Amino acid sequence: MVVDDSVVIRGMISRWIGAEPDMEVTASLRTGLDAVNQLERINPDVAVLDIEMPDLDGISALPQLLAKKRDLVVIMASTLTRRNAEISLKALSLGASDYIPKPESTREATAAETFRHDLIQKIRHLGAKARRGAGHNSASPPLAPSQDRSRAAAPGAAPAPAAAAPIARRAYGLLSPKVLLIGASTGGPQALMSLVAEIGPLIDRFPVLITQHMPPTFTTILAEHLARTSKRPAHEAVDGETVKPGQIYLAPGGRHMRVVRHGIDAVIALDDGPPINFCKPAVDPMFTSAIDVWQGSIMSVILTGMGSDGMRGGKDIVAAGGSVIAQDEASSVVWGMPGAAANAGICAAVLPLNQIAPKLVRAFSGDRS
């Protein structure tokens, strides 16, 4: 269900969805009020919901839609303004599954193509999880590669989703961690809020670096939310600044965040290179660059998100003697990134979100069991 007061945007999104073999547009509506009134008749799996609309805007329509259909996947769509970024993050706390920034101009080919890729991926993966959870009998959209692997049967055996091979665990690194690195994507903002609220004592003693797949402006708002939630300083990282304990550094939207050694200090190095794993910022460059600074004294966490970003960098961290913890499938909005790491056999633990903070606090206090 596409809900947007712009006939141009509605038509463009509807054409994109209609071109996909595993999804269809059930309705194209102009206002949030239309969506609320027609939801039960249309019964969609996913709603792409604009924020600014007449009669009933997206943030007002959201709780009414979820009240009528609890398992509806709602993807908030908005232009990149500070106000809309705030509203999008608020929508996540009210039950929206994800958000997507609309390009300033759909005439710019690159921006429109990025928007199309991101939107289709979000619809496909979030919709697939919702359909599995709701027990639909019709064929679900294809699983992400990492999810396919987690359900693959042994060679020569008949496919059996319930017969997934157990995930191999690695021992925690022997060196005491000196930094916490966190990567996240879809579902990440809420997971991050939950996590930083519980690791205050850890933040006081060690630096925390976070890469969340997010556009500019959104990361500005997220840093402010992280500071309020953790009650610790949190900000978008600045190129050339020294990394210090007691601080949360967030990769700014549209730039990769790396770390380099400058004398005895660790220093932020922002990178305006091309997207990595379709993402900018990406988790892999942060993970890999940290090895040159902290060698194996690294604790890394991969939270909910689509794709496999963080898995390759996580392999490098483990090879250097560090550790990787992944969020488990049940508590993830999408088990792409953490699933890729878990299925690669690089994780010391695969945990529900509410168990990650206690594990981190213990690990940074010397417990590596």
175 by Cβ neighbours in 10 Å (0-12 / 13-18 / 19+) ranks as middle
> CB-based contacts of 133: which residues, under 8 Å, 6+ apart?
71
8 A C-beta contact, residue 86 and residue 51? no
- In which region does residue 212 sit, left (phi positive, over 0), alpha (psi from -120 to 50) or beta (all else)? beta
Q: How far apart are CA 154 and CA 140, in angstroms?
A: 22
Three-point CA angle 310, 92, 15, nearest 5°:
80
Among this protein's residues, is 185 annotated catalytic? yes
Strand 179-184 with 256-262, pairing: unpaired
Q: How far apart are CA 14 and CA 1, in angstroms?
A: 9
Please identify which of the residues 150, 185, 297, 308 carries the catalytic annotation: 185
Among this protein's residues, is 239 annotated catalytic? no
Q: How far apart are CA 276 and CA 274, in angstroms?
A: 6
Please identify which of the residues 213, 225, 308, 332 carries the catalytic annotation: 213
8 A C-beta contact, residue 2 and residue 29? yes
Dihedral angle computed from the Cα positions of residues 120, 123, 129 and 134, in that order, rounded to the nearest 10 degrees: -140
Q: How far apart are CA 9 and CA 21, in angstroms?
A: 21
Radius of gyration (C-alpha) of the chain in whole angstroms: 21
DSSP line for 246-290: T-EEEPPTTSEEEEEEETTEEEEEEE----BTTBSS-HHHHHHHH
Sheet of strand 46-50, all strands in order from the earlier edge strand to the far edge: 28-29, 2-3, 46-50, 73-79, 98-102
Dihedral angle computed from the Cα positions of residues 30, 36, 42 and 48, in that order, rounded to the nearest 10 degrees: 60
Please identify which of the residues 45, 284, 309, 328 carries the catalytic annotation: 309
Q: Residue 301: how many CB atoms within 10 A of its CB?
A: 30
Among this protein's residues, is 125 annotated catalytic? no
253 φ, ψ (degrees, to nearest 5): -55, 135
Q: Among all residues, which ones are annotated catalytic?
A: 185, 213, 309
